[in-house]
Structure 1
Amino acid sequence: MDWLHEIEVVLFDLDGTLYQDGTFYKRYLELLFQEGDHAASLDEILEEMEHLLAGRDTSRIGDWYHPSTDTWTRVTPGDVLELSQQNWNTPAIYAGDAWSLVSMFTVKHGIGEAKRQEAFQQVRKEMLQGSSSFERHAGLYEAIRQLSGVRSKLLLTNSPENTGREFIAALGAGELFTDIKYGAGKPAGLEHFMSELMEREGLPPEQILSIGDHAWNDLYPVRKLGGRTAWISAYPSSDPSPWDVRLTTLDELASLLMDIQDSKLKHD
């Protein structure tokens, strides 16, 4: 990748990017569906979730769920550009990660937003208490710390400040970033943020790299403006978008950041 030395700003996501946890969704769904009368049992929902994440379902990560018709559609190379330019306030749900799939199930089965938020807060609390596979990745955080050749390292998360700040503190990652923006309102908020950043700093878009696991939230807005993108996810995806970098593990992400630092030093 002969463009790494050009990067001046790196935009990081939180969930699925600064840590990976392949089990949290089970507890999340349990809190949402263990009580009440639903069209599908908790076991059936968990099985469908596992199939979606593994790519064993007719639908998968990268597809769109349409609540009004209870149907799925797949992005094709011909309509990716149209999707990236449409109004962000679409009623459809982009199956970008495990969190968004849980949201899909709540909408599909009529779970209200208040209950979803309550379950989300409880899952976050239990993660901090160590009751999931959530853990710090020391190698990644050290790579972020040593990435001194760029102008800014920015963390943008849709998590509200009251839970996001506590979670980032538990990761021990709060001091790694030039700035942290909570309640970022991605994807629309990311497009707005990047536009302002380019104007304020006098940066061309190709000097900005966005890293995230939810393509619609973290990558589409940046690529729309001409920025660089790195998609990190352990799950197979149907999305045909040609991201600049495709990563599956935090080890790979740490290596990418070290490569950026090395490339910056070589071009100084």
Structure 2
Amino acid sequence: MAEEIAPDLIDVTVPQSARIWNHWMGGKDNYKVDREAGDAYAAMFPGIRDLAKASRQFLIRTVRHLAREEGIRQFLDIGTGLPTMQNTHEVAQSVAPDAKIVYVDNDLMVLAHARALLVNTTDEGVTTYINADLHEPERIVADARNVLNFTEPIAVMFMGVLGHVTELDDVKSIVARVMQAVPSGSTLTLWDSTATSHTGEGFTDAQEGYDDTGAVPYVLRSPAEVSQCFEGLEMLEPGLVPLSLWRPDQVDIGDVKPVDGYGAVARKP
């Protein structure tokens, strides 16, 4: 559960990815250092703003699909970041009022805003928060067991956070250890920024510049590397694709352009 975090414990001298992402999405939970880093990044790679927006639309569509079409009633959102518009619990509980959502993060500012996430949208549902690092999957699972029923399907989510894990083998291990703990019928929803150039050049250079600011580095992987996180699982159609192309809403078909982030939803057999 989230605790009150003293403001003086939050380092506002170094940019932080969750706060920069919040800035790109038009949020206000960020500081001058984040806005400066985010604007410098976007000047080198304007497509990052398209990716930020597409990532939230991907979350909305995938959570809505899992709750409505797959009947999932439990969601474990690991590395959730700062609350913005249409968070996981809001989407899930709008479809299934009894949905249970467990958010996981260890960023101090995210935890300071956790009370905003802990407001249920329904009386029947459950929305709660775990203070844990994504490098600690066993701890995450142990804490989540206090809220979620691990004999029923769980939707595990890693939304744009695994680039913070340097080694691909470690990424695959983290994902596999969480998925090993959940039962058959559970799902994995995962996306990450990719070293592609759908929206122009400059992504890699912009990321290197960001890493040099002292912020936690982020590794841009290839779509083929991202796909390795889904080994042993059954991907739902259309498979691993640019976020904007994963089952776009009917009104958007024809106007959708690929972005430099790939994601998929897969089911555990």
TM-score by length of 2: 0.35
Larger Rg: 1
- Give the structure with the larger helix fraction: 1
Q: Which has the higher contact order (CA 8 A, sep 6+)?
A: 1
Normalised TM-score (structure 1):
0.35
